[in-house]
Amino acid sequence: MSLPPFIRPEVAAIPDSLIRAVANAGIGRTDVIPLWFGEPDLPTPRFICDAAAAAMRAGETKYTPSRGIPELRRTIADYMARLYRVPVDVERITLSASGMNAIMLAMQALVGPGDNVVFTTPLWPNCMRTAMIMGAEARTVALEHGPQGWRLDLDRLIARFDASTRAVFLNSPGNPTGWTMPAAEQRVLLAECRRRGIWIIADEVYARLVYDAEVAPSFVPLAEPEDRLIVINSFSKSWRMTGWRMGWFTAPPALGDTLAKLTEFNTAGPATFVQHAGVAAIRDGEAEVKAQVERLRIARDLAFQRLAAHPRIRLSRPEAAFYAFFEVDGMTDSLAFAKELVAKHGVGIAPGIAFGDAGEGHLRLCFASSPELLTQAFDRLEIALR
């Protein structure tokens, strides 16, 4: 008698993270400069930690309502309204146990076998995996890199839609490219999706990490509350809370009960005192967010200057997020190159192939680090590229 498969085939088929594969090659080595993960180098601001500690001591250690504590939902609704200068009703806001988990719950709510979801690449690979876990097809459209930076051909995107397309996933500003979708294109896509009843899942976790505006173009001010639109945000990047596991949905009120149910069946939401700290982060953190962008701007300029000056490297100046995603002339196997870079030169960066086939030939470097460490990393990279 032959036994059924150990692991479900759809999940067994999901490849391991190639970012982790490179990072694993550097485990335990203190001499490696780690620029592989998408994470600010500094810890969470102290006042946010203090707010969490105070909430714990006040006994805020029990279950919360499924959609989050009312005070945080209200604080987020007001924040979104202020940021985008449109009314945002609290009934559109649901907390999630990370931006990642919001993507997973959106897929659970919307897709199953027979459905497809369209993604643009290069893209942080985890986004696509959520659709695959649900048994849906993950379709891709490659962004194009030209003299104006990364651009999406909207006609090519829309040409990938068919009767089985349930959702289109957009990460703008994007990881790893920094690609930022202009509002005019968002409007066109929104109209097309409205007509077809296709959901837009807009991963806007880098919305505040932009260098020429206060905030990146968002679907929030363009859409009606009832539109088939799920906007995903996170505390991780703007407030340096990667380890806290908290994000939020802005979604139609009619999706609220479903998101509450799915939250109950997945995580019951972020930890209780983490939610209380979230109120403090938004209420008192504006200066920190702005200071972080200024610090990142210096790092961005340094990264661009050093990389663009190299004869074998081609990149555009990142408009947003905190990655340099650059092409290396003559490098055809980014995974092997990144592994060798760790092993021989002590620089940890992510291989472009980790972000889909469209990323091959590239490397991603997270520049959310100090100028000193970045300079050292670029020096080492130059030696490796000789």
Q: Which of residues 30-59 bind a second copy (CB under 8 A)?
A: 37, 39, 43-44, 46, 49, 52-53, 56-57, 59
Work out whether 152 is an interface residue with a second copy (CB under 8 A).
Answer: no
73 three-state secondary structure: helix
Work out whether 133 is an interface residue with a second copy (CB under 8 A).
Answer: yes
Window 5 to 24, contacts with a second copy (CB under 8 A): 6-8, 10-12, 14, 16-17, 20
DSSP lists the bridge partners of residue 326 as 363
Work out whether 261 is an interface residue with a second copy (CB under 8 A).
Answer: yes
The rounded distance, in Å, linking the Cα atoms of 158 and 150 is: 18
Work out whether 118 is an interface residue with a second copy (CB under 8 A).
Answer: no
- Judged by CB under 8 A, the stretch of 149-157, 236-244, 326-334, 340-348 that binds a second copy is 236-244
Contact pattern for a second copy over residues 178 through 197, marking x by CB under 8 A:
-----------------xxx
Work out whether 25 is an interface residue with a second copy (CB under 8 A).
Answer: no
- Judged by CB under 8 A, the stretch of 105-113, 137-145, 281-289, 333-341 that binds a second copy is 105-113
Longest dimension (CA), the chain: 65
As a whole number of Å, the end-to-end CA separation of the chain is 58
Among 30, 31, 63, 85, binds a second copy (CB under 8 A): 63
Work out whether 101 is an interface residue with a second copy (CB under 8 A).
Answer: yes
Query: Residue 299's closest CA among 282, 275, 323?
Result: 323
Least distance CB 212 / a second copy (angstroms): 28
Among 4, 147, 311, 330, binds a second copy (CB under 8 A): 4
Work out whether 98 is an interface residue with a second copy (CB under 8 A).
Answer: yes
Among 73, 92, 166, 306, binds a second copy (CB under 8 A): 166
Nearer Cβ to a second copy (201/313): 201
Work out whether 379 is an interface residue with a second copy (CB under 8 A).
Answer: no
DSSP 122-171: S--THHHHHHHHTT-EEEEEE-EEETTEEE--HHHHHHT--TTEEEEEEE
Among 91, 187, 258, 297, binds a second copy (CB under 8 A): 258
Work out whether 121 is an interface residue with a second copy (CB under 8 A).
Answer: no
Work out whether 350 is an interface residue with a second copy (CB under 8 A).
Answer: no
Q: Is the peptide bond before 40 cis (omega within 30 degrees of 0)?
A: no
CB atoms within 10 A of CB 381: 23
Among 108, 171, 177, 334, binds a second copy (CB under 8 A): 108
Nearer Cβ to a second copy (244/325): 244
User: Do residues 350 and 34 touch, judged by C-beta distance below 8 A?
Assistant: no
Positive or negative, the Cα torsion across 142, 145, 149, 151? negative
Least distance CB 224 / a second copy (angstroms): 14
Work out whether 224 is an interface residue with a second copy (CB under 8 A).
Answer: no
Query: Residue 339's closest CA among 101, 32, 6, 28?
Result: 32
Residue 310: left if φ>0, alpha if ψ -120 to 50, beta else—which one?
beta
CB-based burial, 224-261: b 16+ in 10 Å, e otherwise: ebebbbbbbbbbbbbbbbbebbbbbbbbbeebbebbbe
Work out whether 311 is an interface residue with a second copy (CB under 8 A).
Answer: no
